[in-house]
Structure 1
Amino acid sequence: MTSAVVAPDERALREHLRGGRFRSGVAAGHWRLIVVEWPVSIVAVSAAERASSPVEFVLCFELNGYPHTAPTGGLWDLDTDTTLPADRRPKGERAAQLFRTDGWTSGTTAMYAPWDRMGLQAHPDWAQKHPHDAWNSTRDLSFILTKIHEVFNADDYLGI
């Protein structure tokens, strides 16, 4: 019998997904895991009820090098298996900032945030300027999901 060798980054993610912080978010209805197909993980994050808007948004994360390397991820359309089109993206001040589509290089596939790999690459100073929000190797995916959940449930979230 041969057992598959799991790389350290995948093993770290799977341990975090079994951990209390992730499971607590699931139990509270804040997010749910859809699939892990290494190095990709797809997670749905719940959103506040707004007229003609979904109750959750799906995000696709690329996790190579996790947790030493920050994840990167963006809004995802499960039906088409591509990035979520602009007309179905969350609206509101914080959501528009996080999920920029205004010409930022990684705007459709990454978050404009100090916890996202692409955001950190575009703004190397963010780790020092935003230490409470910046990714570091002691963080886990639940840290990012908590931040996203806050945006989708903020007073300024307008739906789609």
Structure 2
Amino acid sequence: MSAAQQLATPDARALQADIEGPLFQMGVADGKWRLLALNWPHAVIEVSAAVGAFAFRFELSGFPAQPPTAQPWDAALNAPLAHDKWPRSRGGRVKDVFRTDWMGGSALYLACDRLTIQGHQNWVTQMPARLWKPGGSIVQYLEEIHVLLNSQDFAPTLVTPA
């Protein structure tokens, strides 16, 4: 399938409209995040942290009806981010979300993540505000990450990713 055909799919068009929309663009203007690459069904988006920034590779097929899934990404190498460069925690929620032991580091432990919500049906009642909202915006997921990376719990890694 050509790039033009890929962007013609409803999910690709929905993401394109979302990243061109006001919520995503306000985050860009505020320096919270920026799109680095879009190669459907993947998008690499960099999210600013208290120190530095981290890239995340999102898999977005079925967007927005289906939740995205994301993993920390090394944009320079176009590969998963080495586990020793992942965000660190001072003992709070950052350690719960950025778990290198969860699914081999291929997904974040968030209620809005497609892979993580599977098998966590109790989250429907325990944390309904954090669940993916079908028809929603990628901004929901990005805000979750941005808040964590700018919280008091975030501890910069020894080598800050680009």
**Under a length normalisation based on structure 2, what TM-score does the superposition of the two structures give?**
0.88
Mapped contact 1:36–1:42 kept (Cα < 8 A): yes
- Secondary structure in 2 matching 1:59: strand
Q: Deviations over 1:83-130 (max 9, x none)?
A: 11111111013222111123x3x2411011110001111312323321
Runs of 4+ in 1 over 3 A off after TM superposition: none
Mapped contact 2:44–2:75 kept (Cα < 8 A): no
Structure 2 counterpart of 1:48, one-letter code? A
Indicate whether 1:83 and 2:80 are aligned: yes
The match for 2:94 is: 95
Mapped contact 2:15–2:64 kept (Cα < 8 A): yes
Indicate whether 1:148 and 2:150 are aligned: no
- The correspondence for 2:126, drawn from 112, 126, 129, is 129
Mapped contact 1:127–1:135 kept (Cα < 8 A): no
Mapped contact 1:99–1:107 kept (Cα < 8 A): no
The match for 2:35 is: 33
Gaps of 5+ in 1: 50-54
- Secondary structure in 2 matching 1:57: strand
Name the % identity. Answer: 36
Mapped contact 1:70–1:117 kept (Cα < 8 A): yes
What CA distance in whole angstroms lies between the structure 1 residues aligned with 2:123 and 2:67?
Answer: 13
Structure 2 counterpart of 1:12, one-letter code? A
What CA distance in whole angstroms lies between the structure 1 residues aligned with 2:36 and 2:59?
Answer: 14
Gaps of 5+ in 2: 158-162
What CA distance in whole angstroms lies between the structure 2 residues aligned with 1:152 and 1:118?
Answer: 21
